[in-house]
Structure 1
């Protein structure tokens, strides 16, 4: 999908929330792809404090922030943002979108989600309000079900150029990369083997050094020295 250089006045803001428990290569590839399509827009990666739709993270917020910073260190378009971690109560995306909509006024606000989340958006807290707050950038997942008609109708499909001309209410469907990595499988691999190829080497080193995800070994597989 070709990238679109936005007008200076549009200055879009992209949000990518999740547990990032741990952050893996598919997260980074997806965030960079959305940034590129939107002309190099900054993508804010926001780890949840208390995810309302998932099991609670195994790693605490500070550790997940540290891993995100390591994974994003070479990509200036990716911004590690601790806003959700600093809030109390469940990390409802609606509250996050309201906050950042207030911050960016009429600029385009784009919320990145996987195709599985888009298919289940109608089960989210007050999802009908999202179209007044943001656009969606939907990242594909293998063999994912289609979203219900009412969800698709709430966010008409469009292209990057149109998203950059409006503050909210449209949907960009990416064709690649696939979010085809399972965080559960990564944690299982870490517990059994102490490493996983789906992780940035610096993130793997950090996990071993801090004994996260039941990793017992601290034997390095890389020369990178994590803080």
Structure 2
């Protein structure tokens, strides 16, 4: 049995990062008692390429995570050539932390449902656990994937290096980066967007955002 706190990795385009990303990462950190690394990918292999540059997405993550010391913005994938395959990331961090410390890959329920299409996913159970976040309308996982990661509680994940699956019940990933980009292009504010990140987007002219009056931070909803 290992006693080291798990290291959790939360990858994505973060284009832009929003409140559901941050709330989900903090929930995983609280459940597992260890840090969560936010890993913006450079060249996502299974989806359209990001609108914002790597430097812009990294800056937005740093703004969004500024008040959450348990979250670590990590540019490792951005510094790698070629497509950002999860397997390469898992192999790197497994080598970095050693064979005994728990390593956890954080995914939404929609990604869990499509994991059987991911590059060499069959290697994942030997490298990491999964922490699966709820998302409205997500399909059931492929039976082979579900069988490869035994469902367990957080204590079990802390007790072994890899091969288990934690199904979180909250927070639900209700916001989407696509919806936020659409709202910004229409000149609308979106409740899932951090005020500091919104200011950055307007300054950088991202997502065809129409410039709005200065945001009143006292009127912003709390998202974390």
Using the size of structure 2 for normalisation, the TM-score is 0.94
Aligned partner of 1:151 in structure 2 is: 145
Corresponding residue pairs, total:
217
Matches of 1:59 and 1:222, distance apart in 2: 25
Alignment partner of 2:60: what SS?
helix
Q: Is the 8 A contact 1:208 1:219 kept in 2?
A: no
Q: Is the 8 A contact 1:16 1:113 kept in 2?
A: yes
Aligned with residue 196 of structure 2, among 202, 210, 214: 202
- Displacement of 1:107 after TM fit? 0.2
After TM superposition, the runs of 4+ consecutive aligned structure 1 residues lying more than 2 A away are none
Matches of 1:203 and 1:192, distance apart in 2: 17
Aligned partner of 2:111 in structure 1 is: 117
- 1:17-166 equivalence runs, <5 A: 17-39=11-33, 41-105=34-98, 106-166=100-160
Extract unaligned runs of 5+ from structure 2: 219-224
Aligned with residue 186 of structure 1, among 177, 180, 185: 180
Q: 1:182 to 1:223 in 2, by over 3 A?
A: closer
- Displacement of 1:222 after TM fit? 3.4
Aligned partner of 2:222 in structure 1 is: none
Alignment partner of 1:164: what SS?
helix
Extract unaligned runs of 5+ from structure 1: 1-6
- Displacement of 1:219 after TM fit? 3.2
Alignment partner of 1:52: what SS?
coil
RMSD across aligned C-alpha pairs, in angstroms? 1.5
